[in-house]
A and B are shown apart, each in its own frame.
Chain A
Amino acid sequence: MTSHRAQGLGLGLRAVYYPDILSGPQPVDWFEIISENYMVPGGRPLATLDRIRADYPMRMHGISLSIASVDPLDFDYLRALKNLAARIQPELVSDHLAWTGVKGLNLHDLLPVPYTDEALGHCVERVARVQDFLGRRIALENPSTYVCFAGGDMSEPEFLGELARRADCLLLLDVNNIYVSGYNHGFDAKAYVDLVPGDRVAQIHVAGHSHLPTHKIDTHDEPVCDDVWALFAHAREKFGAVPAMIERDDNFPPWEELLAELAHMRRLAALAEQVPA
């Protein structure tokens, strides 16, 4: 089994960059795909994926697992996910600690979870069943949230840590999400990172966000800001050389600009390695 702590820094694979990526070798250690973009019968998306996969390791990141939903698990979806994983042999399969809908509907959003004992038990049971079905451990990403529920039993990092321990799953730490949620809910992002069990962190995401007068939104349409880079450096100092990547999903800059941002990440990662743990 590939170690979930494999090295390297990557980028999200997005169709707008296919020509750049296919034009020659790129200074990118691996690509992460949005799983659902390739959970289609055939055609250009899968053909292009196969071409790029021949040259780069890949990681799969889903947005529709809906692990916290009270609806039954969707085994048609899981079967398609498993088939895609068999096709591209990813180093990691991940999704979000979120739900996307109930009563058979799908809002196509990553909706927030109450951090209660009931929700924890529900998620633990479902993660275990998903991992059994896929035949591998999955990683769950901490969400960016805009509301939180009154009367929770634990904090978000405590919930994630307990979920990872009881379900024996991994965590994908999105430091931009921590920053955005910390701003929106008034908690200390660095203290959040310090509460995450490092031995479970299989990957780190960084991204840009939108800043509104009263809150921030995780839009992935801006360069990564200095505060998020600082949080990334802190996470690397704490967790070591965990694979990390930049997510960009809109307002796409030229490829060279994204590579320059990745080079910045590389410099920060190298600096973090020099700091004693």
Chain B
Amino acid sequence: MESEVILKVENVSKQYRLGVRGTGTISHDLNRWWHQLRGKEDPYLKVGDINKRDSKGNSEYVWALKGVNFEVKKGEVLGIIGKNGAGKSTLLKILSKVTGPTEGSIKSNGRIASLLEVGTGFHPEMTGRENIYLNGAILGMTKKEIASKIDEIIEFSGCQRFIDTPTKRYSSGMTVRLAFAVAAHLEPDILIVDEVLAVGDAEFQKKAIGKMKSISEEGGRTVLFVSHNMVAVEQLCSKVIILENGKVSFEGGVTEGISNYLTYNSEVNSVLLSKRKDRKGNQNFKINKISFNEGNDSIVQGKPLKIKLHYFNKLSVDNIKISITICKNFEEKIMNINNHSQGIFFSVEKGEGVISITIPKLYLISSEYTIDVWTSFNDVVLDYVVNATSFEVKPSDVFNTGKALNTSQHGIVFPDVCEWMNN
């Protein structure tokens, strides 16, 4: 049972035509039809460039995906990562039958439900309850199934008070909560989730990730998850594939996959953070990349930790406040590093730049941590990213005792060598 392949993607390719559609459409269609009539191959399938966003190609046809192969086993959570335009969304669209592949085939042994967007088909004039029914049916549930789960869905959404109010009166966060609640109670064999968690607050993101985890662990269901949020991918997935220019460039373990992805292109980290949409603030000052210890040394307990914030600043800011919070399990705040509370004041000039913060000795137990970054000016939020990035603290023999401090029984933070007296 454990090793049963539930989804098999074989040699899937997808071709798109670039440029403005209109001129030449009929002539290409007729030419294609003429070839088909004589039993010949489609002339436009032979041409086409590989999918590279930033290079100039020769052909007006481009392969968004070319020869993609992979398998997913039952109960696996597969993370699909890749740069913008690498073909992730195209792949998900083909898997969820929104569009067909140009070549290749996908074989599945289970019902697929996709969540490429939350709240598809929500009608603003209808109440929350009516929308649950409509959205559930769009996602493939029968009325009976929805009726049996409606209380659970309303409870999960946390919108009990508003459930009989038209959704046009909802805040955007509430709409997302309601929509995700419906999707989370789908019971497909394979659930496809695109970057939908980018919306919603931290508490809800955690709830959503927890729900997806339990779907796969307890329900034995398979999840395909696309995200730019590496922290979420690491938390949730059991396997990762990397798409690069329409091809699978890596398939394997999560930790290996993520580090592979982050190193194959040093720009990726910056792309990741700069493309994150779940940020708050006016973005006049924006953190594009966070690097640790010059990007080469690993982070070791008891040793210094240098955090570099690469930013882009639209206007010069006189007295900026920068606050970094190190968290465990996404939201448990461990410590805060803040220039104002340390009595350090500085201004930042317009344009690109780097702010370095060095913690002289990092007294944290060896584990995974995440970072929230907050910047503000005169109490106006400039940029605020929750779970901006993650890092791992490696164990070391801090006090030369022959033992590393790496057990969580001893807490999370430890002090420097203390004065001990025995009177």
* A in complex with B: no
Chain B residues engaging chain A, CB cutoff 8 angstroms: none
